[in-house]
A and B are shown apart, each in its own frame.
Chain A
Amino acid sequence: MTETFYEVLRRQGISRRSFLKFCSLTAASLGLGPEFVSTMANALETKPRTPVLWLHGLECTCCSEAFIRSAHPLASDVILSMISLDYDDTIMAAAGHQAEAIVDEIIEKYAGNYILACEGNPPLNEDGMYCIIGGKPYLDQLKKAASNCKAIISWGSCASWGCVQAARPNPTQAVPIHKVIYDKPIIKVPGCPPIPEVMTAIITYIATFEKLPELDRQGRPKMFYSQRIHDKCYRRPHFDAGQFVEQWDDESARKGYCLYKMGCKGPTTYNACSTTRWYGGTSFPIQSGHGCIGCSEDGFWDNGSFYNRLTNINQFGVEANADEIGLATAGVVGAAVAAHAAVSAVKRARTKGGNE
């Protein structure tokens, strides 16, 4: 089932002669001796591609939709050459029991060697009945598949943080993957969806170097999530100059000024959109004139309006942000101080009057 790289190359019409030429040229360009040509050829002939199980929990398939639109590398190259995508219920040909049987087979046959890619997340309420795969709760499938895997990739904000189904009040009690699987390395690739090229790049990295990318403290690959949208935004010079869009469709909006005042969440969002952009570098939200909504941040649905850079604080049923609360409190304290000063003055005048 899982072909070696050599078999894939042959299937794609590359002759053995060309294959050996490639090995010789690669060995020469890496500065290796002639004896390494056969080592390399042997490795490519015998090394199976990493099997990947792609599971779908509570999700909207936007991650898959993004993934298949990757331009560098093409998604087809990734799933047909680099990895062996053995199970992905939305795009695989098999269905029903045959499809589910593949999961069991991979878990047994490639124990400790396959990658588990999770799109969406499991709901815990009502014993997981809000998401049923093949007649069983998704949670069961996830735990079973995770038990033997080498590592987990949490695709998208659902698997990484919880996303919309985990937004308050979260009736199904949906939780991200790291809240139910504790004993496996988890690579979070947040975004709603994640950037296509980021998704394929992470798979490419794992397939090429046979190790997991370096992660930050929150479990995201540093190479794509170590900077904020704001840090590399092409509109940043307008921010530094103090040039802002004040209203949708004003003169500044037409000139492409900074969207900070329109509630752009670029300054609080870790992602690579402003660097890699989307769909072969065509565009990204800010380039199309709308602020970033911070879709790759933890709890972004619960952060209040997409058009406000401060989070709403919902106490006593009042929706207000930090500045409104602060200003109101300062006003109350100011009035209290003034009133207290007035009473103090009256009291002092009376006391003095009494003394005289």
Chain B
Amino acid sequence: MTTADQSHAQTQVYVYEGPLRLWHWVNALAILTLCLSGYFIGSPLPTMPGEASEHFLMGYIRFTHFAAAYVLIVAFALRIYWAFVGNDHARQIFLPPIFSAKWWAEVRHEIAWYAFIASEPKKYVGHNPLATLAMHLLFVWGIIFMMITGLALYGEGEGMNSWQYTLFSSWVIPLFGNSQWVHTYHHLGMWVILIFVMVHVYAALREDIMSRQSILSTMITGWRTFKDARPADDDHA
């Protein structure tokens, strides 16, 4: 599906399929909810007045956190499924071609572009190599880390006979030494994800304006559009 219009130098490719785009936004919303509710679990709001029986504030905040966590986990599981059955782009963030010298050269070029050394970015149908690397390391592994430590902490409340405790808490807590370290690393993980989100949003905005392909609209419509007619630099085109 390529429409080549030489006069406007615009081509477009269908990159992100429906389920993937839905996952992206569900996931984004879940992460936002988790960061906010998680922060308020760690640093609660000012104390509530009146009788304890009149309030359930921490209960609701924790419920929100756990519910959003399950949405994120289920969505991530479906996302993995989609990596198998979806198109090539659905696999990209899971399998960066780390053994390809060409790819690493392009990572360096992308860094040069961000450091204002390279005058022009390369053109990609999928993610650029630096984005692939950042998403793989910070997002994919970051979110897996958060899911595992999160389930381990959740299992503590559920009790030693729960599947969450058996599958996660039972080995995660001894691995970190004690429950408090798991809490501490779960907090650190939140900041890693948050920093990823900051850079991700900034890079997406900047790339949308300054690179040679569309970014923001692509995650809504699924279509990648290009600003010039020269061939793309990745293998997906």
Report how far A257 CA is from B50 CA in the complex, Å: 11
A330 contacts B55, CB within 8 Å?
no
User: Does B167 reach chain A (CB closer than 8 Å)?
Assistant: no
Closest to B206 in A: A344
Query: Given A226-B159, A244-B47, A310-B180, is A322 in contact with B188 using a C-beta cutoff of 8 Å?
Result: yes
The majority secondary structure among interface residues of chain B is helix
Task: Give the docked Cα–Cα distance between A337 and B206 (Å).
Answer: 10
Q: Within the complex, what minimum Cβ distance (angstroms) separates B191 from chain A?
A: 3
Q: Which of A261, A321, A343 contacts B184 (CB 8 A)?
A: A321
Give every chain A residue within 8 A of B198 (Cβ-Cβ). 330, 333-334, 337
Q: Is residue B43 contacting chain A, with contact meaning CB distance below 8 A?
A: yes
Could you tell me how many residues of chain A have their Cβ less than 8 Å away from some Cβ of chain B?
A: 54
Are B188 and A326 in contact (CB-based, < 8 A)?
yes
Residues of B within 8 A of A265 (CB): 180
A56 adjacent to chain B (CB < 8 Å): no
Q: Which residues of B contact A337 (CB under 8 A)?
A: 198-199, 202
Interface flag for A17 (CB, 8 Å): no
B183 touches A257 (CB 8 A): no
Q: Are the CB atoms of B199 and A333 closer together than 8 Å?
A: yes
Rounded to whole Å, the gap between the CB of A268 and the closest CB of chain B is: 4
A322-B185, A322-B188 as given contacts; A341 in contact with B47, CB under 8 Å:
no
The answer to whether A329 touches B202 (Cβ under 8 A) is: no
Also in contact, A241 and B52, with CB within 8 A (given A226-B160, A268-B183, A343-B116): yes
Q: B210 — which chain A residues lie within 8 A by C-beta?
A: 344, 348
Q: CB within 8 A of A325: which of B61, B181, B191?
A: B191
Asked whether A309 is an interface residue with its Cβ less than 8 Å from the other chain, the reply is: yes
Interface string of B47-63 (1 = CB under 8 A from A): 11000111111110100
Q: List residues 138-192 of chain B with CB under 8 A from any CB of chain A.
A: 156-157, 159-160, 170-171, 173-174, 177-181, 183-185, 187-188, 190-192
**A256-300 interface bits toward B, Cβ cutoff 8 Å, 1 = contact, 0 = none:** 010011000101111000000000000000000000001001111
Distance, CA A297 to CA B188, complexed state (A):
21
On whether A303 and B55 interact (CB within 8 A), knowing A261-B44, A322-B187, the answer reads no
Residues of chain B within 8 A (CB-CB) of A227 are: 159-160
Interface stretch, picked from A22-30, A34-42, A58-66, A215-223, is A215-223
| Bound form: Cα–Cα A327–B190 in Å | 10
Docked pose: A238 CA to B48 CA in angstroms: 9
Does B59 contact A240, Cβ atoms closer than 8 Å? Answer: yes
In whole angstroms, how far apart are the Cα atoms of A327 and B194 in the complex? 10
B3 to chain A, nearest CB (A): 26
A311 to B48: give the CA distance in the assembly, Å.
Answer: 27
The reply to whether the CB of A183 lies closer than 8 angstroms to some CB of chain B is no
Q: Cβ of A333 and Cβ of B180 under 8 Å apart? A: no
Query: How far apart are the CA atoms of A135 and B199 in the complex, in Å?
Result: 64
For A214-240 the 0/1 string (1 means CB < 8 A from B) is 001110001000111001000001111
Measured in the bound complex, the distance between the Cα atoms of B184 and A294 in whole Å is: 15
Q: Which of A242, A294, A341 contacts B206 (CB 8 A)?
A: A341
CA A265 to CA B183, docked complex, whole Å: 11
Which chain A residues lie closer than 8 Å to B177 at the CB level? 298-299
Central interface residue in A241, A265, A329, A348, by most chain B CB within 10 Å: A241
Residues of A within 8 A of B116 (CB): 343-344, 347
Contacting pair A241 B187 (CB below 8 A): no
Interface residues of B in 100-120 (CB under 8 A from A): 114, 116
- Docked Cα-Cα span, A218 to B183, in Å, equals 18
Contact with B along A317-356 (1 / 0, CB 8 A): 0000111011101100110010011011001100000000
Residues of chain A within 8 A of B55, CB atoms compared? 240-243
Is A252 among interface residues, defined by CB-CB distance under 8 A?
yes
Q: Does B220 contact A (CB under 8 A)?
A: no
Alpha-carbon distance A244/B180, docked complex (angstroms): 20
Residue from the set A245, A298, A334 with the largest chain B CB neighbour count within 10 Å = A298
Whether the pair B195, A329 counts as a contact (CB closer than 8 A) is yes
Which residues of the partner chain B approach A299 to less than 8 Å between Cβ atoms? Answer: 177-178
A313 within 8 A of B: yes
Which residues of the other chain, B, contact A100 by a CB distance below 8 angstroms?
none
Contact (A325, B180) CB under 8 Å given A243-B47, A252-B47, A340-B114: no
Closest to B54 in A: A241
* A residues less than 8 Å from B188 (CB atoms): 313, 322, 325-326
Residue pairs across A and B with Cβ atoms less than 8 A apart, 10 shown, are: A216-B160, A228-B179, A242-B55, A242-B58, A260-B44, A303-B178, A321-B184, A323-B191, A326-B192, A330-B191
Query: Which 6 interchain pairs have the tightest Cβ spacing?
Result: A326-B191, A242-B57, A322-B187, A241-B55, A268-B179, A241-B52
Given A228-B179, A239-B58, 4 additional A-B pairs, CB 8 A: A216-B160, A216-B170, A241-B55, A243-B55
